[in-house]
Amino acid sequence: MTVPLPCLSSTASVASDKGHGVKITNLEAIPIFDGWRNLLVVLVETDEGIAGIGESGLSGRELAVMGAIDHFRPLLLGQDASRIEHLWQVLFRGGFFPAGPVLASAISAIDIALWDIRGKALGLPLYQLLGGLVRERVVCYPHSQAEGFDTPALVDRCLQAVEEGWKFVRFHLPQQAEVLEPAESVRMGLRQLEAVRAVLGEEVEICFDVHTRLDLSDAIRLCRESEPLRPFFMEDPLRTENLGLYRQLRAHTAAPLAAGEQFSSKWQFRELVEGDLIDYARVDLCIVGGITEARKLAGWCETHGIRLAPHNPLGPVATAACLHLDLATSNFGVQEQPRRPGTSLTDVFPVQVEWDDGYLLPPTRPGLGIEFDREAARRRPFQRWEPPHLRRRDGAFTNW
């Protein structure tokens, strides 16, 4: 069945505003295989028939997140769904150990679902609860990657994206099959960046994703030599275990830097933000702790002149959540959007957000503004999926 967007009576809305709220009656984690990997959505149901939906990140580790959901269920049943900040604090801190990426990914999905419930209870799109529109549309970029070192195919993919209306293209540091040798990948990455820029001209923006694949010396070379090609940003040029290395990288390049998609709280962003070491915060709403945590990060970034570039390689729920934050956040830069909404999983999500000429448009329906068919989701059961594993030519493991 399709989870409805109910038309509530004024009495129900007033009751929620008086603080009585709607009570959480069920929490369900539903993995969905999309044909390549799994999405993990979380459905939060209430005693007033209002259901909210959220989505978790941490692709490839969904079973761990589902375990976290099981731990959280008894903490949430019977609670007032409108106490979003309070419930966030209980879940993040309630086990004594602060939440890491597994727990934070579960919290993210629950938090998004609670915001969805709140919007539906009030009959308002979620962005209205975040302060209203600061822009009328949200620019986004697709994935335009070609396989390996095939530069002509990459150029064709980028040209196709521009012809479809996208204002940005994005591709990542190339590798050959399962082998990534930093020196040759840097050389080829720069050649590909130069080839795409030569064909697309100056009007189309290029996002180049290093995907945490390089050590400091290789990242410095790549970023410094990319400067004349004017990338919109160089994303995740370094591994994130030692953020102090970004201070050295920043000192050696003027290329705009973006990072943060692996972070599971605002605290992990602290060194990069307070040190002014990035230009774009790659916040992932489905890992960082949901809309509640992302809003706090957005305000903090604004004081440092850092813009948001939400990481979104996931499904329609994540897209909608990012869109509402983008619409209500002044220091927004660009949103990741691997494909056009409405072109995949339309059986599970019969109503998705709208895309037009490279932009996502404000939803008019309450909450997130999408619909979810639980029965259709169950017809796409979980399948084990493992992210690609890369190695150096000598057999040593390296980041994907």
Residue 14, both tokens: 């007033």
In this structure, how many other beta carbons lie within 10 angstroms of the beta carbon of residue 247? Answer: 13
Contacts for 71 with CB less than 8 Å, ≥ 6 apart? 95
Name the region of 47 (left: φ>0; alpha: ψ -120 to 50; beta: rest).
Answer: alpha
The whole-angstrom separation of Cα 324 and Cα 264 is 20
- Match 């230009």 to its residue by tokens: 279
Question: Could you list the active site residues?
Answer: 211, 311
Residue 317, both tokens: 């729920």
Containing 86, the helix (H) or strand (E) segment is helix 84-93
The whole-angstrom separation of Cα 63 and Cα 66 is 5
Long-range contacts from 59-66, C-beta under 8 angstroms, 24+ separation: 59/313, 59/314, 59/385, 59/387, 60/385, 60/386, 60/387, 61/102, 62/31, 62/38, 62/382, 63/382, 64/102, 65/29, 65/40, 65/102, 65/105, 65/106, 65/109, 66/29, 66/31, 66/40
Residue type, 248: Q
In this structure, how many other beta carbons lie within 10 angstroms of the beta carbon of residue 347? Answer: 12
Name the region of 289 (left: φ>0; alpha: ψ -120 to 50; beta: rest).
Answer: left
CA-based R_g, the chain, Å: 21
- Match 């995949």 to its residue by tokens: 344
Contacts for 301 with CB less than 8 Å, ≥ 6 apart? 269, 273, 281, 307, 308, 331
Q: HSE (CB half, 13 Å, CA atoms) of 326?
A: 33
Ramachandran angles phi, psi of 398, nearest 5°: -145, 160
State the helix-helix crossing angle for 84-93 and 290-302, rounded to 10 degrees: 100
